[in-house]
Amino acid sequence: MTDLATLELDLINAIGAATTVAEVEAVRVAALGKTGAISGLLKGMGAMSPEERREQGPVINGLRDRVTGAIAARKAELEAAELDARLAAEHVDLTLPARPRRKGGVHPTMQVMDEMIAVFAGMGFAVAEGPDIEDDFHNFTALNFPPKHPAREMHDTFFLQPDPETGERKVLRTHTSPVQVRTMMSQQPPIRIIAPGRTFRKDSDATHTPMFHQIEGLVIGKDIHMGHLKTTLKEFVARFFELDDVDARFRPHHFPFTEPSAEMDIRCDRPKPENGGKLVLNQGDDWLEILGCGMVHPNVLRSCGIDPDQWQGFAFGMGVDRLAMLKYGVADLRPMFEADVRWLAHYGFSAFAAPNPASGLS
């Protein structure tokens, strides 16, 4: 046998013996690649005499064409076999149940905030907003905080670095009350707003987190008095907890920005085995503090350019997260802000069940 015939036989055998596309490719490179055996023969034709080339040319080209054809045929065959194997292995079983879809949930704090907004909207309140980073004037001074009040100290409040030029220290607002200042300074009375938002204090235990949420309320009008405050807040609590009436008491308290000031408590039976471990409102001998409130201090009205002889009003503020805990039985405040989706899957609300006083809040 000639050398060429041997080479062809070897190549054809190797192609036939290849069991994967990659093996066929290896044979192709060995024969027809840059330094392949057939490529070498083709290159060698350049050095032949015209007679030699006339004789050898068709032989070498024929060899190349047959080998190329054999490679293509084997590749197609193996590709088809590989596809068949995949189709057999990966067939879709349409009888399998669909995978459950992961749905997002509304965080209880946001749900409760929406519930509160829905209740107050039904009572004629508009929503007002302000910045999380406040200045001393809006967070403290305009609200009648004395210079040495503890909230103005580093141990209670997050201060930003002082401005190198003015020395002014901004604060992460410690309450949503600065929004009442902003509203009174930009809007003529009568005013009836609520200010929901994030607030910050240096506090961390089972019922306090450094970031939490408040809703502040402010009503300014003519001849507004404590009676309006009490009725509004009792009505709010009744609607929020979906009760017919509330057994509430107003305990004297102190806030720099209200006078008189009070804390509102609701009669309750604390969770214990006899009542199924649930908090029961309007029953029992205990009292649950739910908010701070009072008549807006004349100094605050004056700071905001409102004449206290003409206008009076009341304000109140409450913790949204705490009310969410109470209403929906969350035991510890801290996991509420740990962004654990398992927690949210348990306590979260459907995004389609938007609170609405007509159809029920939750």
Sorted by sequence, the CB contacts under 8 Å of residue 273 that are 6+ apart come out as none
What minimum distance in Å lies between the beta carbon of 295 and ligand PHE?
9
What minimum distance in Å lies between the beta carbon of 276 and ligand PHE?
32
The token duo for 207 is: 């019922």
The region that residue 144 occupies, defined by phi over 0 for left and psi between -120 and 50 for alpha, beta otherwise, is: left
Asked if 317 is part of the footprint of ligand PHE (rule: CB under 6 A), the reply reads yes
Distance of CA 255 to the CA centre of its chain: 34
What minimum distance in Å lies between the beta carbon of 177 and ligand PHE?
4
Rounded Cα–Cα distance for residues 228 and 295 (Å): 10
Q: How many residues bind ligand PHE (CB under 6 A)?
A: 11
What minimum distance in Å lies between the beta carbon of 124 and ligand PHE?
18
The token duo for 142 is: 């305009």
What minimum distance in Å lies between the beta carbon of 296 and ligand PHE?
8
What minimum distance in Å lies between the beta carbon of 219 and ligand PHE?
11
CB-wise, 120 or 349, nearer to ligand PHE?
A: 120
DSSP state of 237: H
Asked if 355 is part of the footprint of ligand PHE (rule: CB under 6 A), the reply reads no
Asked if 212 is part of the footprint of ligand PHE (rule: CB under 6 A), the reply reads no
* Chosen residue from 145, 236, 255, 311 binding ligand PHE by CB under 6 A: 255
What minimum distance in Å lies between the beta carbon of 201 and ligand PHE?
9
SS3 220: strand
Contact by Cβ (8 Å): 345, 105: yes
Only one of the segments 84-92, 230-238, 309-317, 330-338 lies at the binding site for ligand PHE (rule: CB under 6 A); that segment is: 309-317
CB-wise, 23 or 235, nearer to ligand PHE?
A: 235
CB-wise, 70 or 262, nearer to ligand PHE?
A: 262
* Chosen residue from 67, 181, 220, 315 binding ligand PHE by CB under 6 A: 315
CB-wise, 111 or 144, nearer to ligand PHE?
A: 144
CB-wise, 108 or 292, nearer to ligand PHE?
A: 292
Burial class (CB in 10 A: 0-12, 13-18, 19+), 291: buried
Burial track 224-233 (b if 16+ CB lie within 10 A, e otherwise)? beeebbbebb
Binders of ligand PHE in range 268-297 (CB under 6 A): 292-294
Number of residue whose CB is nearest ligand PHE:
317
* Chosen residue from 120, 240, 316, 349 binding ligand PHE by CB under 6 A: 316
Contact by Cβ (8 Å): 174, 156: yes
Asked if 216 is part of the footprint of ligand PHE (rule: CB under 6 A), the reply reads yes
Helix (H), strand (E) counts: the chain: 11, 10
* Chosen residue from 258, 301, 304, 320 binding ligand PHE by CB under 6 A: 258
Binders of ligand PHE in range 170-209 (CB under 6 A): 175, 177
Of 96, 109, 309, give the one whose Cα is nearest residue 197: 109
Rounded Cα–Cα distance for residues 311 and 304 (Å): 12
CB-wise, 249 or 272, nearer to ligand PHE?
A: 249
Number of other CB atoms surrounding residue 335 within 10 Å? 16
SS3 171: strand
Rounded Cα–Cα distance for residues 123 and 119 (Å): 7
- Footprint on this chain of ligand PHE (rule: CB under 6 A): 175, 177, 216, 255, 258, 292-294, 315-317
